[in-house]
Structure 1
Amino acid sequence: MMKNWLAAGAVALTVGMTSTIAQAQTTTIPGEQVGLAVGAPLPEGIYAINTFTYRRADAPSSAINPNTGLNAGALDTAVNIPVLVWSTPFVPFGGRVELLVAPPTVFAFTRNGAGRGNKDISINVGTFVGGIWAFDLGNNFGVSLLGGAYLNDLNGDRGSLVSVNGPTATPVLPQLSSNTYRMGVAASYTGDGWNITGNLTANIYDSPGRFGGRVGAVLGPQYLSDSLNFDLTATKKFGNFEIGPIAYGTYNFDIGQFSAAAGNRGRFAVGGLIGYDFKVFTVQAYVARDVVTSATYTTAFGRTRDNYSTDGWLRLIVPLYSPAPVAAAVPTPLVRKY
C-alpha cells in the first residue's frame, strides 16, 4: 500500500510551483517530488494529495539583492498544492495513463519590524493540467514520462501588483507572465522497502512574456529563463515508518541582466525525510537546507553574502477510490460416475 501511495504522491506533485518570490525563476518548485516513487506506475483509482512547503532565506530585513537592487530579506514564502489525480484503466503499450489537475497557491509573509510596512499576499498560480505515462519494467523498477502546462495566461492573480503610491505595477512572480510547459522523466526502484528515485523536470517558457494590463516596462516584456530541476530520494521503510536522505536543486539557463533569473544560476539543497503509513492515509515531512546557492545579498556594511535558504515540507496522500478487485472464479467440481 505504501508503494501505491508513494506513486500517487509522485503524480500529484508534478503540479508544484516556485516558492521563491524574489530570486528563483522556475515555476515548478525544486524538491516537490522528493520522497516519492515518481517512476512507479500508480494503481487504477482516484487520489487526493496536498503538499505544503514553507521557505525562509538567511538574508536579514535590511539586505539588498545586488543583482536587482531590491530588498532581498524580510520575506518568507510558502506554497500549497492541492491535487486531484485519476489513474485511468488505460495502459497503452504497457504504460499506465494518469491524468491530474491542480490549482497551486503561493504565499509571501513579511518579517518587517515595527515602523515598517507589513503586507502578506497570496497569488493563485495557473492551474496545472497534465498527464503521466508510467511503466513497470519488472524487478521493482519503473520509469515515467510527464507532460503538461501551467495555464498562467487563463488565470487571474498572475503575480503582478499595483503600487499604492502610483500606477506602476510590480511583477512579483514574473514567470507567471507566460504559460509554463513542463516535461519530465523519472526512474524508481521500490524493492525491499526502498524508494530510490531520480527525477528531472524541465520548465519551458514563451519568452519574453507579458502581464495583461496597462502598457509599461514592468508588465512586459519579461525575459524568462528555461530551467531544469532535479529531485533525488533514497529512503527505507521499517514497518509503517519511513526514513532517509533527500536532495534537490534547480538550474537556470539564462541569468543575463534582463532575465527574471538575473545572476541566479540555481541552488542545491540536502536534507532528511520521515514518514508514516496510517493505512487509510500517508503523511510525510522533510526538511532541507541549501549547501550551494548562487543567490546573494548585500549587508548593511556593503558585504556580499550567499543567501542560503531552509525549506520545510508536509505532505498528505489520501486514496479516494479504487475499483473493487475482480473475484476469482470458483472452480466447478469435477464429478465422475463409475
Structure 2
Amino acid sequence: MHSSNTTIVAALALAMASGTSALAASAAQPGQTLGLPTGAQLPIGLILLDTSSFGIRDTAPNRTENNINLPGLVWVPGVHLFGGRLHMIFIQPVVATRPAAGGRYQSGIGVPLVAAQLAWKIGPDFSVSYLLGGYLPVDTQFVINQGSLQQRFAATYNGDGWNLTGNLLYGTYFDATNKQGAFYPDFLNLDVTATKKFGKWELGPVAFGSTDLPTNRPGYRHQGQIAVGGLVGYNFGDYFIQGFVTRDVVERNYGGYDTRAWLRGVFFLYKQTEPGGPMGGLLARNQP
C-alpha cells in the first residue's frame, strides 16, 4: 500500500441525490475508494479513518456545492472464512450541500454503511477481495435516504512500492422509489489507482467512472461520469494522509462538470504485529 503499515480497506460513502425523479445518484460516492488498495488484506487491529471531499459542479448559471465527510471504523479480528481474511466495516456519512439555485447550506447524516469484506492473498504481491453489505435507510430529505445492497470486487498489486488497484462497486436499491418520488436505479462505479511510493511519499494518477444501469422507467435520464486526477500521500508511521483532486472529463445528465478536492486520514488505534504476515513485505520495504 501507500505506507509502511497502512494497507486499508476502502471506506464507502454517500453521493448526493438530485432531488428529482428524473435524476438520481449512486449510493456509493463515485471515486471515494481512490488511493486505497481495496483488494489487499489488512493487519489485525482496529482502524479509524475519515475521507472528506468538497466538490463544485458547474451547473450554470449557478453552481452546486457539497461536502461529503465519511468517518468510520474498520475492525480486523483475525478471522478467516473460505481462506479470506475478514474485515468488518462501519461508516457514518455526514453531508452538507448548497443546491444550484443558491441559498443556504443544508447538512445532516447520510445512510450508514455496515459491511463485511473477505480478502485473499493470491501471490506475494497480488490480492483480491469481495465486500458484501448495505446502506441502512435514514429519515433525511436532501440526500439519498434509501436502503441498498452493496457488493464490491477489488484486485490489488502492491509490489515494488506500487499500488495498482481496481475496485468495481455494484449497488441495488431495496426500494427504487422514495416517498418524494425520486427514482434510484441500480448502479456501477469503478475506481482505479496507479500510485508509487518514494520513501514516505506516494504519488500517482487516479480515475473513476460511474453509471446508472438500464431501467424500464419511461423518460428516465441515466446519469454517468468519468473523472481523472492526481494523488499525493505521506506516511507518518501509525497513520497516513492522502490528498487528491479530480475533475470530470465526461458527464451525462448531471448538469455540469464536477471538480473535487479530497483529503483522507487513516489512524491505527490498535494493530497486532504479525511477523511474516501479509504486511511483512511492506514493512520491510518502507522503513526510513
Shift of 1:293: 0.7
Contact 2:226 2:249 in 1 (8 A): yes
Distance across 2 between alignment mates of 1:127 and 1:225 = 19
Shift of 1:88: 1.4
Q: Structure 1 residues 101 and 244 mapped into 2: Cα distance closer, same or farther (>3 Å)?
A: same
1:104-153 CA deviation, whole Å, 9 max, x = no partner?
111103577xxxx721101311221111000111220000000101101x
Shift of 1:19: 4.0
Contact 1:48 1:319 in 2 (8 A): yes
Quote the RMSD (CA, aligned, Å).
2.2
Corresponding residue to 2:200 among 228, 237, 240: 240
What is the aligned-residue identity percentage? Answer: 33
Q: Does structure 1 residue 99 correspond to structure 2 residue 85? A: no
Q: Secondary structure of 1:192's partner?
A: helix
Q: Does structure 1 residue 122 correspond to structure 2 residue 107? A: yes
Aligned to 2:279: none
Radius of gyration: which is bigger? 1
Q: Structure 1 residues 118 and 269 mapped into 2: Cα distance closer, same or farther (>3 Å)?
A: same
Shift of 1:25: 1.0
Q: Does structure 1 residue 81 correspond to structure 2 residue 70? A: yes
Contact 1:45 1:321 in 2 (8 A): yes
Of the structure 1 ranges 78-87 and 89-98, higher mean CA displacement relative to structure 2 is found in 89-98
Aligned to 1:231: 191
Aligned to 1:167: none
Amino acid of the structure 1 residue aligned with 2:240 = T
Distance across 2 between alignment mates of 1:145 and 1:296 = 30
Distance across 2 between alignment mates of 1:75 and 1:133 = 37
1:309-332 CA deviation, whole Å, 9 max, x = no partner?
111100000000013568xxxxxx
Amino acid of the structure 2 residue aligned with 1:32 = Q
Distance across 1 between alignment mates of 2:16 and 2:245 = 14
Amino acid of the structure 2 residue aligned with 1:98 = H
Higher helix share: 1
Contact 1:253 1:265 in 2 (8 A): no
Question: Normalization by structure 2: what TM-score?
Answer: 0.87
Question: Normalization by structure 1: what TM-score?
Answer: 0.75
Shift of 1:101: 1.0
Q: Structure 1 residues 21 and 77 mapped into 2: Cα distance closer, same or farther (>3 Å)?
A: farther
Amino acid of the structure 2 residue aligned with 1:206 = F
1:65-99 CA deviation, whole Å, 9 max, x = no partner?
xxxxxxxx432011000011101110123210010
Q: Structure 1 residues 258 and 223 mapped into 2: Cα distance closer, same or farther (>3 Å)?
A: farther
Aligned to 2:242: 284
Aligned residue pairs, count:
271
Distance across 2 between alignment mates of 1:286 and 1:139 = 28
Q: Does structure 1 residue 55 correspond to structure 2 residue 59? A: no
Distance across 2 between alignment mates of 1:226 and 1:148 = 15
Amino acid of the structure 1 residue aligned with 2:224 = G
Distance across 1 between alignment mates of 2:47 and 2:164 = 22
Q: Does structure 1 residue 193 correspond to structure 2 residue 161? A: yes
Contact 2:16 2:25 in 1 (8 A): no
Amino acid of the structure 2 residue aligned with 1:17 = L
Distance across 1 between alignment mates of 2:206 and 2:238 = 25
Q: Structure 1 residues 207 and 324 mapped into 2: Cα distance closer, same or farther (>3 Å)?
A: closer
Q: Secondary structure of 1:26's partner?
A: coil
Q: Structure 1 residues 93 and 250 mapped into 2: Cα distance closer, same or farther (>3 Å)?
A: same
Distance across 2 between alignment mates of 1:265 and 1:109 = 20
Corresponding residue to 2:267 among 312, 318, 337: 318
Higher strand share: 2
Shift of 1:281: 1.1
Contact 2:24 2:183 in 1 (8 A): no
Contact 2:147 2:175 in 1 (8 A): no
Amino acid of the structure 1 residue aligned with 2:248 = D
Q: Which has the higher contact order (CA 8 A, sep 6+)?
A: 2
Distance across 2 between alignment mates of 1:95 and 1:3 = 22
Distance across 2 between alignment mates of 1:253 and 1:75 = 24
User: Any gaps of 5 or more consecutive residues in structure 1?
Assistant: 63-72, 161-171, 212-218, 298-306, 327-338
Shift of 1:254: 4.0
Amino acid of the structure 1 residue aligned with 2:112 = T
